[in-house]
Chain A
Amino acid sequence: MNYAFDFGWLADYWPVLLKGIGITVELTLVGGALGVSLGIACAWARALGPGWLKPIVAAYVEMIRNTPFLIQLFFIFFGLPALGLRMGELPAANLAMVINLGAYGCEIIRAGIQATPRGQFEAGASLGMSRIQTFWYVVLVPALQRIWPALSSQIVIVMLGSAAVSQIAAEDLTFAANFIQSRTFRAFETYFAATLIYLALAIVLRQLLRGLGWTIFPRRTAR
């Protein structure tokens, strides 16, 4: 092996990497927040919603969970303009991530809702709350608490999966790495650096989600 490792060039490309990190973080924050919101709405619809809505949501969930993220992304970015729905690469990337996490999040959160003891619904009802009020104020937080570790993992998976958006020229961390590699031909060093950055991002994200869990859920759920 006579390859000479050289990380010195990294100094020149920090701005490129930083911009990529910024976009990956932005995609994760927006995708995570809106994706979980969409997941909550869909989980409500599937577990407790009106009969006509359930098959619609089920179709959406199954379609997303049984097709590749990259294809979903290409469809939104390259396919939808045929219908006149044209958007930039960042909005398209954000939208794809929201739709993707919405479907996976739906199934995870639904499990949490369905594990709710019946007495919680009855207590809400007996106090005069409507079904939707009972869901929102009584059922939702303990349900999220039950599945928070699984949901956190899914959010991390979506963050890592965001590497695919580089394929529609959204300038995320992977796009930056590809760009640097094509300039320097330093594939090992470039992707080694990108790997470490993704690893660090994932660890930080997990810790943030754990901390968020502690603030949203002050108590262990008593059954």
Chain B
Amino acid sequence: MSLIEITEVKKRFGDNEVLKGINIDVEPGEVIAIIGKSGSGKSTLLRCINGLETIDDGSISVAGAQLLPDELHLKALRLKVGMIFQGFNLFPHLTAGRNVMLSQMVVKKTPKAEAEVMAKKMLERVGLGHKFDAYPDQLSGGQQQRVAIARALAMQPIALLCDEITSALDPELVNEVLAVVKELASEGMTLLMVTHEMRFARDVCSRVVFMHQGRVHEIGPPEEVFANPKTPELKQFLGVTH
């Protein structure tokens, strides 16, 4: 059984069908890059997997549990699947450490001391142990995104969804975030990432999904997808981005 099973998922915004029947199965430990033009539905797909958007048709299951849109099921799902956003979305009134502690204490009812130990550990893991008491506005974009990763990791998810997590960063800060992601991948974390970092996708990912007009247009290992694109759309997309 796959870890994440996406079956015939459809999503409409009004008259605009953004996802037109998506099928992807993700195995434990896989690192999947989702690429495609803007408007192809890749971010929407990711947001559906975490229940931030409700799906109109089809099904999504994570570790055998079906995604249902009520608060109880969503909470169970979100404990298994963490999400990292393009805009970091750190809580501005809390220190880095508190950002990582909050959901542990509120959602998992972890005692404060324990949550603090976990927060320190996770901040160490992303190389920011020394920034425990810094507020988000005292951190660079790359550091903020690493805190966001630590915050997601502290909930001990079995998979992470990364929605263009380096797109809002200055070029020189992209690598410090990708290095953290690469490390997670090597430790066996299951990752689904929407990304424009083609080199990263090629080097780190086990499979690449090319989305086009709401469908999975091509899917396969990176060497195949990048070296030998089959469809004209992917050829054109790769031509444009390289």
Contacts and interface: CB of A to CB of B under 8 A. Distances in A.
Interface in B141-157: 148, 151-152, 155
Interface in A176-223: 217-223
Nearest to B85: A119
Contact of A123 (B51, B79, B89, B137): B89
A119 B89 contact: yes
Contact of A125 (B78, B87, B108, B151): B78
A166 interface: no
Contacts of A219: 92-93, 135-137
A122 to B, nearest CB: 6
B91 A126 contact: no
Nearest to A138: B91
Contacts of A125: 51-52, 74, 78
A75 B183 CA distance: 68
Interface string A104-148: 000000000000010110111111111101000110011001000
Contacts of A133: 106-107
Contacts of A142: 91-93
Interface residues of B, number: 29
- Residue of B85, B87, B155 contacting most chain A CB atoms (<10 Å): B87
Contact of B50 (A126, A130, A145, A221): A126
Nearest to B102: A137
Chain A interface size band reads 20 to 34
A219 B137 CA distance: 8
B60 to A, nearest CB: 15
B52 A129 contact: no
A221 B52 contact: no
B75 interface: yes
Interface string B121-139: 0000000000000011100
Given A127-B152, A137-B102, A218 B93 contact: yes
B192 interface: no
Nearest to A131: B71
Of A122, A123, A127, A133, most buried by chain B (CB within 10 Å of CB) is A127
Given A122-B52, A133-B106, A128 B137 contact: no
Nearest to A127: B103
B78 A126 contact: yes
Interface in B98-114: 102-103, 106-108
B83 interface: yes
Contact of A129 (B89, B92, B93, B106): B106
A129 B135 contact: no
A127 B78 contact: yes
B97 interface: no
Contacts of A222: 92, 136-137
B229 interface: no
Contacts of A138: 91, 102
Contacts of B89: 117, 119-120, 122-123
B134 to A, nearest CB: 10
Contacts of B93: 141-142, 145, 217-219, 221
Contacts of A119: 85, 87, 89
Contacts of B50: 126
Nearest to A141: B93
B82 interface: yes
Contacts of A126: 50, 52, 78, 82-83, 85, 152
Most chain B CB neighbours (cut-off 10 Å) among A123, A133, A145, A219: A123
Interface of B: 50-52, 71, 74-75, 78-79, 82-83, 85, 87, 89-93, 102-103, 106-108, 135-137, 148, 151-152, 155
14 contacts: A120-B89, A123-B85, A123-B89, A126-B50, A126-B78, A126-B152, A127-B78, A127-B82, A130-B71, A131-B71, A137-B106, A142-B92, A218-B135, A221-B93
The 6 closest A-B pairs by CB, nearest first: A123-B89, A127-B103, A222-B137, A126-B83, A119-B89, A128-B107
Given A126-B83, A222-B92, 9 more contacts: A117-B87, A119-B87, A119-B89, A123-B89, A126-B50, A127-B82, A130-B75, A218-B93, A223-B92
